[in-house]
Chains A and B, each alone.
Chain A
Amino acid sequence: MINYTLMVAAGTEIFAAGSSDDDSGGLGLVFLLSGFAFYTVIYLRYRNVDKRHRHEAETEAVLLNLEEQDVFVASKKGLTNSRMSGANSTKVHGALRKFF
């Protein structure tokens, strides 16, 4: 019996490969994992184990009396990642759905 978790993990590697800084060979890798990707996409479409109520966006809320501080610290040059290291402002901790 093929382990579904491993398959999904392999599937996610496709996207990691696709977003690599070094793009050469990326498309080839995508094809090399096409069977795993196909399984993952179909399984998710049928079973929808990844779906949940997006409470963070679908719940009505209002921000009031806002104070802001934005203080320049430093300029960084030659960063290799397109995203800030450790960025966590979009994290969701209250999802009831346990996926894996």
Chain B
Amino acid sequence: MDNLNADSPHTGHTAPVPEAAPSAAEIAPPVAAEAPPTSPASVDTGGSAPVAQEDAGGDTPRIVRTDEGAEDGLTKCARCGSTEISLNVASGNLRCGFCRFEWTAENALEAFDLNGDIGKLSGIVVGSGSSDIIPSVEEVLTFKCSACGAEVVIDTNNSTQARCHWCRNTLSMNQQVDNGAVPDMILPFTIEKASAVERIAKFVGKRKFFAHPEFKREFNPNNVMGVYLPYMVVDINAHGRFTGQGEHQTRSYTVKVGDKDQRRYDADRYNVMREFDIHVNDLTVESSSDRLDQDTSKNSNNIINTIMPFDIENSVRYDSNYLSGFTSERRDSNLDQLTPIAHTQAADVTRHRVNDTLKFYDRGVRWDSEEVDVRGQRWVSAYLPVWLYSYQQKKSGGKTFLHYVAVNGRTGETMGSVPVHQGKLLLVSGIVQLFGTVIGLVLVAVGV
């Protein structure tokens, strides 16, 4: 922070705190997508689409429609009319499988004005794809193919597309229903499968010696799958006030206690207060209950968590064609379930940023009070791209443990869990311990 002096603490207030930000009613209505000609199909959703609200104060969310102009059914190439459309990972565009025509969806944050000034956020603003899931809404939806009239089923747990078994056209689901299957936006893959395979092979290759022999035998990085996982992206406008005490070391010296030397420290203690506004941008939280469970004794979901962050700002309007050739996982968590963890993480981000103003306190700061008042928040649901290699390890007693090696589909960041050959590791550790004990006893005996 440029208005701080880290070397010499000073006293007194330096800047007035502004009043709470004005209402965020200026968020523009969503812009219709330039969709290629379509022949919409009818859909029986069993539920109703979220209703846009003009404004809402307090805890009532204001919903920004993010599926305006989106249509279910046959999404055709604007040039040749084919429905064989998929992502060209190399360019990040949608590409027609027949005529090779390429196009891209609009940037989602710009299209829906979801990247507006965080300082002007007040209350709760929610993308319509982040609305609460209504349990009665079916997860398996039936569409009528507008090309041949056949009924086609889409299991929204894994995809929002299906191929008509009669006429072979691809049907897409782009309108949002209240089951969490269609998010506000999607971040397309830019890391190609070959690159992901290479990264996974390299990661595991460095961990072969103590790897479980069955894993080594069965490991085949070509089995990696591209998965769009559901996340909530949150912007937060908050005001904070932290009070506590900090210590600055003034002297360090050695004293004799008996026949031993010991370190001693002198320090100055200060009462410390920081009051500020904070804008948190694109805080990203898993919105699948399975992925939120990151107990490392039961699963390796922390691996997928580790490969964040993503370049959220490059997300585009949701189009099911981006999912072609990939799988997806449906969001099953609502705002009320995700708000506590998002706010706790926002408080962590705040504490971390405030530390930049505390460099003078080289012995540390103890906060006695941390008040973070969230004045405005904006929630947008997103599918984010992950290359996932999974390995189901069979353990004694019929138990299994699912290991993941994950690659961020945008940045290429790679992390993984490789099953360990416990017997081999314990044996080598025992040998190390044996030698260590001998050397350690000698060193202790001579007082080193």
Contacts and interface: CB of A to CB of B under 8 A. Distances in A.
Interface in B241-281: 244-247, 250, 252, 255, 260-281
B149 interface: no
Contact of B425 (A43, A70, A96): A43
Contacts of B419: 46-47
Contacts of A69: 11-13, 271-274
Size bracket, chain B contacts: 35 or more
B347 A94 contact: yes
Given A65-B16, A69-B11, A84-B366, A28 B444 contact: yes
B429 A39 contact: yes
B430 A35 contact: yes
Interface string B9-27: 1111111111000000000
Contacts of B119: 64
Nearest to B264: A78
Contacts of A34: 432-433, 435-437, 440
B52 interface: no
B349 A56 contact: yes
B237 to A, nearest CB: 10
A56 B345 contact: yes
A59 B266 contact: no
A32 B417 contact: no
Contacts of A43: 420, 425
Given A34-B440, A66-B357, A61 B349 contact: yes
B266 A78 contact: yes
Interface string B199-219: 000000001001100000000
A94 B11 contact: no
B425 A42 contact: yes
A14 B11 CA distance: 42
Interface in A14-37: 21-25, 27-36
B82 interface: no
B136 interface: no
B48 interface: no
Interface string A65-100: 111111111111111111111111111111011111
Contacts of B365: 84, 87-89
B15 A67 contact: yes
Contacts of B264: 78-80
Contacts of A80: 262-265
B294 A73 contact: no
Contacts of B402: none
Given A47-B418, A77-B266, A89-B364, A63 B426 contact: no
Contacts of A77: 266
Contact of B303 (A31, A51, A62): A51
Given A29-B440, A68-B4, A96 B245 contact: no
Contacts of B296: 47, 49, 97-99
Interface in B412-448: 415-420, 425-426, 428-437, 439-445, 447-448
Given A46-B207, A66-B4, A96-B302, A79 B349 contact: no
B14 A32 contact: no
Contacts of A70: 9-11, 246, 270-273, 360
Contact of B274 (A22, A29, A46, A66): A66
Given A55-B348, A87-B366, A32 B274 contact: no
**Residue in A53, A56, A71, A98 whose Cβ sees the most chain B Cβ within 10 Å:** A53
A78 B273 CA distance: 26
Contacts of B308: 53, 55, 58
B441 A62 contact: no
Contact of B444 (A25, A66, A96): A25
A53 B309 contact: yes
Given A52-B305, A93-B344, A68 B281 contact: no
A6 interface: no
B246 A84 contact: yes
A64 B354 CA distance: 11
Contact of B429 (A35, A57, A62): A35
Contacts of B79: none
A59 B4 contact: no
B352 interface: yes
Contacts of B417: 46-49
13 contacts: A22-B262, A33-B436, A39-B426, A46-B210, A46-B211, A47-B419, A47-B420, A55-B308, A59-B345, A70-B273, A72-B268, A89-B358, A89-B365
Interface of B: 1, 3-4, 9-18, 119, 207, 210-211, 244-247, 250, 252, 255, 260-284, 286, 292, 294-297, 300, 302-303, 305-309, 341, 344-345, 347-358, 360-361, 363-367, 415-420, 425-426, 428-437, 439-445, 447-448
Given A48-B306, A67-B274, A73-B269, 12 more contacts: A21-B263, A55-B284, A61-B280, A65-B17, A65-B18, A68-B273, A68-B274, A72-B268, A79-B265, A84-B247, A87-B364, A96-B286
